[in-house]
C-alpha cells in the first residue's frame, strides 16, 4: 500500500463503514457485533481486533495502536464483505478484477518476500501458518492456506527448485475474494501476512 496515501484512505473507509448497517455488516463479514456496546470483534492473523461503530476506531488484541494499513483493511472488510462464502477454489492474483494493474506491487510485496523468506525454509512456512490456524494444501512442492479474515483465506505456494532453477512461489486467493475486498487490498494484504509469519518463524 506504499503507493496509497493511508490517512485519506482511512478517513474514507470510516465514512463508508459508518454509512452501513451494523447487523448487515456483521452477518456478511461473519463476525460478532455487540449492539449494546456498539462494537465488532474481528479475528485477523491470530488476534482479535475491536472496532467501534459508527466511529470506526480500532483497538488491537492487547490495546496497542493498530497500524493504518491494518485499520484500512479491517474497515474495508466490514463495509464491503458480501454474503458469499468461500468456494474452496483457488485463483491467481491476475484472475481478480483489474489484477493486472497491481501486478508490480503484488509481486514486490507478496511473491518475492514469500520466496525470500521461506524458499529455503519450507518447514518454517508450514510451522508459521499452523500458528495462525492455517493448514497444508496439496499443490506446488509445499503449500499452506491461512485464514486471514473469516471469509478470506490466502494460500502460499512454493516450488523448491533444484540445481538448475531457483525456488519460486505464488500466492492464491479463494474465488470468492472479489466479493469481500477490492483487488487493491489483495495486492498488499499477503505482505502483512508474510510479515507476521516471518516473526512467528523467527527468520
Instruction: Encode pLDDT of 143-170 as tens digits.
Output: 999 999 999 999 999 999 888 889 999 9
Task: Report residue 63's pLDDT band, with 50, 70 and 90 as the boundaries.
Answer: confident
90-92 β-sheet, strand order: 90-92, 168-174, 152-159, 142-149, 135-136
Name the DSSP class of 177.
Answer: G
- 6 or 107: whose pLDDT is higher? 107
Q: Give the total number of structural domains in the chain.
A: 2
Whether residue 122 is found in the same domain as residue 26? no
Residue 124's SS3 state is: helix
Q: Is residue 114 part of a domain?
A: yes
Choose the final residue of a domain: 80, 104, 120. 80
- As a whole number, mean pLDDT of residues 34-38 equals 97
Whether residue 74 is found in the same domain as residue 99? no
- 63 or 157: whose pLDDT is higher? 157
**Global confidence as pTM:** 0.93
Choose the final residue of a domain: 45, 80, 115. 80
Q: Is residue 85 part of a domain?
A: no
Task: Report residue 4's pLDDT band, with 50, 70 and 90 as the boundaries.
Answer: low
Whether residue 69 is found in the same domain as residue 133? no
What is the pLDDT, as a whole number, of residue 20?
A: 98
Whether residue 29 is found in the same domain as residue 127? no
pLDDT at 175 over 80: yes
Q: How far is CA 184 from CA 64, 97, 130, 163, 194, in A?
A: 26, 10, 27, 36, 17
Q: Check: CB of residue 144 under 8 Å from CB of residue 23.
A: no
CA distance 125 to 197: 7
What's the domain range around 104?
90-201
Whether residue 115 is found in the same domain as residue 172? yes
Whether residue 67 is found in the same domain as residue 27? yes
- Give the chain's mean pLDDT: 94
Q: Is residue 1 part of a domain?
A: no
Whether residue 66 is found in the same domain as residue 161? no
CA distance 200 to 16: 33
192-203 pLDDT per residue, tens: 999 999 999 988
Choose the final residue of a domain: 80, 105, 126. 80
Whether residue 135 is found in the same domain as residue 155? yes
Amino acid at each position: 500500500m506504499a503507493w496509497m496515501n493511508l490517512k485519506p484512505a482511512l478517513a474514507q473507509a470510516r465514512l463508508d463503514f459508518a454509512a452501513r448497517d451494523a447487523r448487515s455488516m456483521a452477518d456478511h463479514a461473519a463476525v460478532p457485533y455487540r449492539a449494546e456496546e456498539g462494537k465488532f470483534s474481528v479475528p485477523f492473523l491470530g488476534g482479535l481486533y475491536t472496532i467501534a461503530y459508527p466511529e470506526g476506531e480500532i483497538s488491537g488484541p492487547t490495546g496497542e495502536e493498530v497500524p493504518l494499513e491494518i485499520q484500512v483493511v479491517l474497515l474495508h472488510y466490514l463495509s464491503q464483505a458480501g454474503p458469499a462464502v468461500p468456494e474452496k477454489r483457488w485463483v491467481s492474483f491476475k484472475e481478480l478484477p483489474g489484477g493486472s494493474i497491481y501486478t508490480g506491487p503484488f509481486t514486490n510485496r507478496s511473491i518475492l518476500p514469500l520466496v525470500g523468506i521461506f524458499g529455503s525454509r519450507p518447514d518454517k512456512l508450514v510451522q508459521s501458518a499452523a500458528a495462525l490456524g492455517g493448514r497444508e494444501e496439496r499443490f506446488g512442492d509445499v503449500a499452506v492456506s491461512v485464514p486471514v479474515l473469516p471469509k478470506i483465506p490466502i494460500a502460499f505456494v512454493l516450488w523448491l527448485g533444484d540445481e538448475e532453477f531457483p525456488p519460486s512461489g505464488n500466492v492464491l486467493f479463494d474465488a470468492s475474494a472479489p466479493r469481500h475486498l477490492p483487488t487493491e487490498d489483495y495486492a498488499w494484504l499477503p505482505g502483512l501476512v508474510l510479515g507476521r509469519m516471518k516473526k512467528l518463524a523467527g527468520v
